[in-house]
Amino acid sequence: MWLLVSGLTPQLTFIWYCFIRPLTGAKDQKARLDKFYEGQADVYDATRRGLLRGRKTMLNLSAGHLRSLRANNPEKRLVWVDIGGGTGHNIELMDQFFPITSFDAVYLIDLCEPLLQVARKRFVKKGWTNVHILCQDASDFMLPEWQQSSSQGIDPKGSVGFVTLSYSLSMIPNFYTLIDQGLLSVVDFYTAGKNTSLHEKAIGGESKECVWLSRWFWQIWFDFDNVHLSPARRSYLEYRFGTIKSYNGRNRFVLPFIIRIPYYIWLGRPRAADVSKTCHAFEIEGGNTVGNCSPTSSPSIHVLKEEDLMLASSSSAESGLTALDLGSPMIEKQPEAQPSAVVVNITPPFSSFHYQVNKPWRLPYYEHPVHKEFRTFIYSFTWEDPYVDVKHLELTKEDSMFVITSAGDNALHYAIAARPRSIHCVDMNPCQGHLLELKLACIQCLPYTDFFSLFGTGYHSSFRYLLDSKISPYISSSAYQFWRINASMFTIPTKPFYFHGYSGWALRLSRFIFTLAGVQKDVERMCGCDTLDEQVRIWKGKVRPVLLNPLILALLRNPVFCWNALGVPMNQRRMLLNDGSIYEYIRDTLDPLVSTYLVKTDNYFYLLCLLGYYTPASCPAYLTRPGFEALKANKGKSLEAFRLHTDSIYNVLIGLSHRSLTRVLLMDHLDWFTQGSQEVDDEIKQLFRVVAPGGSVFWRSAARYPWYNEVFERRGFQVEAVAVRDGGEKGQKVPLDKVNMYASFWKATRVQT
């Protein structure tokens, strides 16, 4: 019993001082802090590990961004001020991610003497001579070096490059007087209502809203300890500083399904920070820019599509669209602008996209009601053969491409093949953009072995660490939040990455069917065959009878399964069935492939579907070592061509300048519309406007002769078939490509006018 009580001493001490002992007689903030912590300072760290979540993540994130910022300015002194650092735990923890000896000076600022006594002992043991402890008010402190600089007529605060507030912002009475220099990192409790402003949408913030009970309960509870969770503190922080990263979490350390304390991690930079280097991502080919890249407070004039104004959607690098950062911009019509355009007078603060440290591939976008329909990505891999695309695209370095994002595999293939001048990747599903952002960032900052582990095998046990320490400076705040929440997609060995997303349902179902039918081992043998004869023998004898049995065919005829598992919408399914039965479709798709391409080395599409992962011998070009190194060469120069749009194809097209594109790939996008749709006519009309004379548009279709071919011809394109499936009862003999899922492949060339 004594051992049990002794082992619980830290927890019992915490309960006594936090919940039972009255806090009376203290006249000011310092007296309250000293009295509250004097008996529990020695057990503070041991009792706060579970309560104060996110500190390690905040420091790891900060270290990653500090390395990037310092690489851009290696000569500048680096001074860290840890405000409200108490026992010095954060500084000791930071040494794991960014060596303390790398700082020119580290200052721990706190008003509580009992906690600082613990810090002094800690730092003496570590032997750090550049770490200094100051018992001062966090809202009005003075560093020793500032006094010396002031006497020499130098602005003293310019020397501070890094400031952290770990669960201290909510405890500072006068929180307005924060340092306005360097990188600012905060982790703290918070509450927030449901009505988010336009600025809050601009800087991201998934899962920020708190339900009413949580909002009021925690605000009242923490107020007893003079911890202020009012939304005003965080709102002021996000307004005064430019947001780099933002994450909202819930602490479930006591009763996981009942107690959920809201906490957030936030990184920002002063609004006066130089964000001009991010402007290249918003350049218009005519010379203008999208988004106000000036760090000044003066307003700027930009052109916006009228129909997107209320959504504040910035969907195109060449559109003249800009991110709206305030809720009431000044708006006026501009007769000289193209139709459906307005002029917007905009002032800072900017969205989080503008303050991204490195490689701003993603264009600013604002949360659209449609975005909420996409909880995750539909496609974890791209289901069209880029080798056939490249053969007919005839790409050069001067081409400007427009492609559907999907999983980004094909866009990366085009970059490897020809390094075109620009590649506009468009997808309404923001999660598809998050996926391509992640791939681009990992190419930029990771070695090949880590990269292949993530996107080849789909598993990396250290993904969370890599995300915070290396990847985060290269992705937007929105993408970071998505992958922080969904980090388990890469960290479960029995459920690798490609088993997630809507397409993951199909892979998991196929594995279940093969296991249930007792042919899973045969499938694995087929993926390891060295000859086509052996592969065909296993296919015909073992695997084909399973896939073409009546139960599977009935499942494939189900429209709900076709959409949720295969990403095949109702209209496309109808087009497919108009040309034949499901049995004929599966037969004509798979039989020619198995007899033409070795899955082991020459058809990575089906290797992934059958095994759930790629191998070095069979994988997309970007996952091969030569492809990876080509993309990574010259500090990722070829990656600068990417522009990621989070909007509809039509909205992006109407923003592009006339004749600015030379190659467009629509995949099977037009199959999704009903026959005779006005939307298709409008989209093709815009394609004719933005494609340069002699430029080409490519698409695939589930129909042998899709109805919208006539619309292309009517709008001024010359249409020709690249490949069309054979008809007849005997079925297709030669596959159209290594996927062979589509009945036809088409090319439309813009006629000279």
pLDDT (0 to 100) of residue 281:
38
Which has more pLDDT, 577 or 591? Answer: 591
- Are residues 345 and 421 located together in one domain of the fold? no
330 has pLDDT over 80: no
> Cα angle at 699 between 693 and 705, to 5 degrees?
110
> Binning pLDDT at 50, 70 and 90, where does residue 41 land?
low
- Are residues 167 and 73 located together in one domain of the fold? yes
Give the residue carrying structure tokens 């009413």: 212
Measured between alpha carbons, how far is 204 from 323 in angstroms, rounded to an integer? 13
- Are residues 327 and 435 located together in one domain of the fold? no
> Which of 611, 627, 652 is the endpoint of a domain?
611
- Are residues 485 and 597 located together in one domain of the fold? no
Report the domain count for the chain: 4
46-69 average pLDDT score: 88
Q: Nearest CA to 184 among 85, 248, 267?
A: 267
Position 22 in a domain: no
CATH number at residue 229: 3.40.50.150
b or e along 174-213 (b: 16 or more beta carbons within 10 Å of the residue's beta carbon)?
Answer: ebeebeebbbbbbbbbbbbeeeeebbbbbbbbbebbbeee
pLDDT (0 to 100) of residue 491:
96
Per-residue pLDDT tens digits for 551-577: 777 767 666 666 555 566 666 666 766
Task: Please give the DSSP secondary-structure letter assigned to residue 443.
Answer: H
pLDDT (0 to 100) of residue 226:
75
pLDDT (0 to 100) of residue 139:
77
CA 449 to chain centre: 21
pLDDT (0 to 100) of residue 342:
37
> 3-state SS string over 142-180?
CCHHHHHHHHCCCCHHHHEEEEEEECCHHHCCCCCCCCC
- Are residues 641 and 698 located together in one domain of the fold? yes
38 has pLDDT over 80: no
> Binning pLDDT at 50, 70 and 90, where does residue 387 land?
very high
Per-residue pLDDT tens digits for 225-238: 778 888 888 888 88
Measured between alpha carbons, how far is 489 from 458 in angstroms, rounded to an integer? 8
Position 30 in a domain: no
pLDDT (0 to 100) of residue 178:
64
44 has pLDDT over 90: no
pLDDT (0 to 100) of residue 143:
85
Position 435 in a domain: yes
663-679 average pLDDT score: 92
150-175 average pLDDT score: 74
> Binning pLDDT at 50, 70 and 90, where does residue 323 land?
very low
- Are residues 484 and 511 located together in one domain of the fold? no
Position 679 in a domain: yes
267 has pLDDT over 70: yes
Asked which of 19-33, 128-142, 504-518, 583-597 is least confident by mean pLDDT, the reply is 19-33
> Binning pLDDT at 50, 70 and 90, where does residue 118 land?
very high
Position 716 in a domain: yes
Position 125 in a domain: yes
Percent share of the chain, pLDDT over 70: 74
653 has pLDDT over 70: yes
433 has pLDDT over 90: yes
Write down the pTM of the prediction: 0.85
- Are residues 71 and 197 located together in one domain of the fold? yes
- Are residues 594 and 505 located together in one domain of the fold? yes
Percent share of the chain, pLDDT over 90: 50
> Which of 611, 635, 660 is the endpoint of a domain?
611
- Domain extent, residue 560, equals 499-611
481-505 average pLDDT score: 93
b or e along 631-661 (b: 16 or more beta carbons within 10 Å of the residue's beta carbon)?
Answer: bbeeebebbbbbbbbbbbbbbbbbbbbebbb
> Binning pLDDT at 50, 70 and 90, where does residue 534 land?
very high
Measured between alpha carbons, how far is 531 from 99 in angstroms, rounded to an integer? 54
Q: Nearest CA to 641 among 391, 408, 427, 476?
A: 408
Position 61 in a domain: yes
Which has more pLDDT, 25 or 738? Answer: 738
681 contacts 713 by C-beta, under 8 angstroms: no
Measured between alpha carbons, how far is 212 from 214 in angstroms, rounded to an integer? 6
> Binning pLDDT at 50, 70 and 90, where does residue 158 land?
low
Which has more pLDDT, 647 or 273? Answer: 647
- Are residues 143 and 177 located together in one domain of the fold? yes
Q: H or E stretch including 185?
A: strand 183-189
Tell me the average pLDDT of the chain: 81
Measured between alpha carbons, how far is 221 from 391 in angstroms, rounded to an integer? 66
Measured between alpha carbons, how far is 58 from 507 in angstroms, rounded to an integer? 36
pLDDT (0 to 100) of residue 285:
37
Position 12 in a domain: no
Asked which of 469-473, 490-494, 598-602, 673-677 is least confident by mean pLDDT, the reply is 673-677
- Are residues 652 and 705 located together in one domain of the fold? yes
672 has pLDDT over 60: yes
- Are residues 63 and 171 located together in one domain of the fold? yes
Q: H or E stretch including 114?
A: helix 113-126
287 has pLDDT over 60: no
Q: Nearest CA to 629 among 619, 640, 637, 617?
A: 637
- Are residues 166 and 264 located together in one domain of the fold? yes
Asked which of 60-64, 227-231, 315-319, 605-609 is least confident by mean pLDDT, the reply is 315-319
How many other CB atoms are found less than 10 A from the CB of residue 662? 24
> Cα angle at 340 between 339 and 343, to 5 degrees?
100
